[in-house]
Amino acid sequence: MNVKRLTPILNVSNIAESFAWFEKLGWQKGWELGEPPSFGGVCSGEVEIFLCENGQGSRGGPTPRHLGFNDDTGGVWMSWWVDSPAEVDATHQLALAQGLTVTWPPTDEPWGVRECHIQHPDGHTFRVSAGIEED
């Protein structure tokens, strides 16, 4: 097998509100299907995430604490890799300015990345990450 592309699909409770949430972080609505829309995609550069209102997967709910992170909601976790630790910090500041939920502030982790965690209203957690260069 040689996978050429991976597109996660997130179960969301309100697709219009989810489009607006992603736009606050600089993502763009790529497309939508249905009347009213119940499926669509958001894009950042060449990266795309599908959104499905009330279907395809689950959201929220209890989950065990992992690595000491302040998370008790469940949902899908994914890492968004950005170019630099400074971009992690800038994304964190943008999330705070937009009133989004940050569950982990920018932190230099022992596994060699700087990351922060931003949580979608339906409990999905995005780890905004960048490698830390050794001097």
| Tens-place pLDDT, residues 16-55 | 999 999 999 999 999 999 999 999 999 999 999 999 999 8
CA neighbor of 88 nearest in space, from 46, 121, 130, 49: 130
| Residues 74-131: tens digit of each pLDDT | 688 999 999 999 999 999 999 999 999 999 999 999 999 999 999 999 999 999 999 9
> Structural domain boundaries of the chain?
9-53, 77-131
Alpha-carbon span 38 to 52, nearest angstrom: 6
- Homologous superfamily of domain range 77-131: 2,3-Dihydroxybiphenyl 1,2-Dioxygenase, domain 1 (3.10.180.10)
CA neighbor of 37 nearest in space, from 24, 22, 50, 28: 50
Query: Is the model's pTM score more than 0.75?
Result: yes
